[in-house]
Structures are given as C-alpha cells and as structure tokens.
Copies of this chain bind each other. A is one copy, B any other.
C-alpha cells in the first residue's frame, strides 16, 4: 500500500508533513514524495526544502495521493505534466486527497466539477472557478475524494484516512503516538471565529503573495 505526496516549488511545508507524519505510521504503508524532478523542493517560505525521491513518471499506482497547497500551486495549475499525473493516478487510487490550496490542482484536473470540496478559506472563490462547491468544513469527503481546509487541517484529514484504511483503533493509536491533543493558545483558527478586520487583513496578504507567484 503506497501513499504519494506531491511536492513542487512553493508548496507549504506543513501541508505535506502533517499528513506525512500521520500516514507514515500506518503499518505496511509505503510513503513516497514525488515531484516533476527529484531532489530539493523549496517551500513557499523559501527557507525550507523537502526532498522528492521519485519523479511523476515513476509513481504510477499509488493507493493514496496527497496534494498539498501553497502559493506555488498556481504555477502548476496549467501544467500538463502535473494535471495528467493527477488524472492518471486518480483512476486507481483508493483515496485522492488535498490539503489547503492543493484542492485547486484537483479542481484544475477536473476532479471537483460539481463536487463539494474545501480549501484554504481565502481561496473559496478560486476553487469555485473549477466548478467545485466550496464548503466551510474542515474535511470534506465525497466518494474517494477528500479535501481538507488550510494547512493544519491535513493532520485531521490524515487521521480520518487512517481510520478508513485500517480502522478506528489504529487511528487512535497514531493520534496518541503524535500526542495530538491540540491546545491552541487562541481560538481564531477559522474565519468565523476571528475578528472581521483580521480576516480582511489576511485576505490582502494572501492576494499579494499569490500575485508574487502568478
């Protein structure tokens, strides 16, 4: 059983590593980081690099696919190599998943047309542009397609996948092994919980950073 996590320049590190550190604890699960080219992939903050060990051509039949988000996703949304790979592997997956703006790649590949899905809260409109129905839930499952909200939501999604793949007890054990008993010091992790001016401030910052990648 194999999980492939897609890497590309400008991804968000935690989008990839949250699901990695959960799914990699599943007994018998083989993990592979895949990218257009092997080697270092700088993340969207520039000071972090994750390493791809396989090229897209080399990963043809993963059981689980995870597409992380990040500002850099915009540069692959119209790239045939990435779109063809997502469409091809989706034919054979048990679960095709995304975290944050990774959902935009699933959308661009045509997987979300008419489908309820989620992404980072600041990208609902962009997601809707691919025919998806943006949904403000932390994890949205429609058939084999599972989309998670922004960045940290990949951890919650991956624990759900563990339960689907190997049962609730295994998922509970993995939650305990990563001591996932979250205690954020504030309660502003979703737009409806945060002051409106903070939400608007961040929308502006996101738009600026997206522009830098366009």
A81 interface residue (CB < 8 Å to B):
no
- Contact in complex: A175, B188 (CB < 8 Å): yes
**In the bound complex, what is the Cα–Cα distance between A30 and B188 (angstroms)?**
25
A47 interface residue (CB < 8 Å to B):
yes
- Contact in complex: A199, B186 (CB < 8 Å): no
By the criterion of a CB under 8 Å from any partner CB, how many residues of chain A are at the interface? Answer: 65
**Which of A85-93, A105-113, A152-160 binds B?**
A152-160
If the complex has contacts A172-B188, A180-B184, A188-B176, are A32 and B47 also in contact, measured as CB distance less than 8 A?
yes
**In the bound complex, what is the Cα–Cα distance between A30 and B45 (angstroms)?**
10
If the complex has contacts A24-B45, A176-B199, are A168 and B186 also in contact, measured as CB distance less than 8 A?
yes
- Contact in complex: A47, B18 (CB < 8 Å): no
Point out the residues of chain B lying under 8 angstroms from A190, CB to CB: 176, 179, 181
- Contact in complex: A179, B159 (CB < 8 Å): no
**In the bound complex, what is the Cα–Cα distance between A31 and B24 (angstroms)?**
26
Minimum CB distance partner of A186 in chain B: B172
A149 interface residue (CB < 8 Å to B):
yes
28 contacts between A and B (CB under 8 A): A13-B21, A14-B178, A17-B48, A20-B48, A24-B47, A25-B45, A31-B47, A40-B51, A49-B50, A50-B51, A150-B177, A151-B180, A152-B155, A152-B181, A152-B182, A153-B179, A153-B181, A155-B182, A159-B185, A159-B186, A168-B186, A169-B198, A171-B186, A173-B188, A175-B189, A176-B198, A178-B189, A179-B190
Lowest 5 CB-CB distances: which A-B pairs, in order? A150-B179, A181-B189, A182-B182, A14-B21, A49-B51
